[in-house]
Amino acid sequence: MTERVVLAYSGGLDTSVAIGWVAERTGAEVVAVAVDVGQGGEDLEVIRKRALACGAVEAEVADARDEFAEEYCLPAIKANALYMDRYPLVSALSRPLIVKHLVAAARKHGAGTVAHGCTGKGNDQVRFEAGIVALAPELTCIAPVRDYAMTRDKAIAFCERQRLPIATSKKSPYSIDQNVFGRAVETGFLEDIWNAPIEDIYEYTANPAEPREADEVVISFERGVPVALDGEPVTVLQAIQRLGARAGAQGVGRIDLVEDRLVGIKSREVYEAPGALALITAHQELENVTVERELARYKRQVEQRWGELVYDGLWFSPLKRALDGFVEEASRYVTGDIRMTLHGGRAVVTGRRSGQSLYDFHLATYDSGDTFDQSAAQGFIEIFGLSSKMAARRAARA
């Protein structure tokens, strides 16, 4: 029986060439798998037919936008996940979903190997391969660009020699990855970190400096899940898409970051994530109202570690799975409404209300109606500061 390789397929030049490239070097049949996570572009059926025309023995496509929003983006929103306190894990979140579909296809078609189009320099090779072996330890992984020296020039020459039905026009100077949660842009002139981004690189966000009327939105959550915008029920996907459009129109969600890659180098990335950042900002504020102090303090530590695990490609790891349970429990009372003004590149919270609120007006007020027992404060401070007081006395005797 002929060996089979499942290839993560995008429909572009590199992965179209990879079909024949992998077949030539391994002698295996190639099964192409394309997953729609909201990246836009061509119709899935067009992509499927192209894979077959480029030599794939089978081609599968999946519209996974709702799955991506509900099972990958939503946990990130609940975890307030921001790598290095800024990046909402746009690309990192999509990789485990693609991995899940690749592994399912490998088992369905009897493949022993999975191939992807990553280079040997980035994070995604780790995310794909660590995820694949976590779900299916019996599978092996190959990367034509990394393992078989499939450079861009060689890919174009191969495409023309084989007369593949794919355009070989001049490549964009940027490397771009996008999905429903956001967009990542790197390389080109951005590799000089002194160069400022130019407006031409942005697609999801308008110029925040341009004058326009502000946009006010009310986001409703139930147990950490966005369920309505301005009182209209929405799915998680709709919440991300609609807030992305509204926040993006106000220039919200631009991030210019020199980040720490998993492979040990620093890289400069420009991100656009208007819907993601608006939702995380609103969710954080609702947690401030509804989550008890000690739980909230500890959750901030969990959020950082959760984000690091996802960024590093350990979505399917035991620790990530355990932290998911903590985040879910911490979301139990995160129900209510957040009013937010979108304007000038900022998403600013202006109002909060919740039936699960821990904010008590009569305890917080300094006016009449104050029910806080201020007489208890003196004894509390004495006991709270006692250990420091004893240590200070010892230091004074030394």
First to last CA, the chain: 82
Q: Which of 4, 16, 91, 124 is catalytic?
A: 124
Query: Is-catalytic flag, 124?
Result: yes
Are the beta carbons of 208 and 215 closer than 8 angstroms? no
Query: Is-catalytic flag, 95?
Result: yes
SS3 260: strand
Q: Which of 65, 95, 246, 254 is catalytic?
A: 95
Query: Is-catalytic flag, 360?
Result: no
Are the beta carbons of 243 and 219 closer than 8 angstroms? yes
| Furthest-apart CA atoms within the chain: distance in Å | 87
Q: Would you give the distance in Å from CA 370 to the centre of its chain?
A: 44
**Which one-letter DSSP state was computed for residue 284?**
H
Structure tokens at 188: 């080109």
Q: Which of 66, 107, 146, 175 is catalytic?
A: 175
Closest by CA position to 217, among listed 248, 254, 191, 171: 248
Q: Which of 4, 10, 14, 91 is catalytic?
A: 14
Residue 226: φ, ψ to 5°: -70, 125
Closest by CA position to 34, among listed 111, 107, 117, 131: 117
Closest by CA position to 92, among listed 329, 259, 301: 259
Are the beta carbons of 26 and 113 closer than 8 angstroms? yes
Catalytic residues: 14, 95, 124, 175
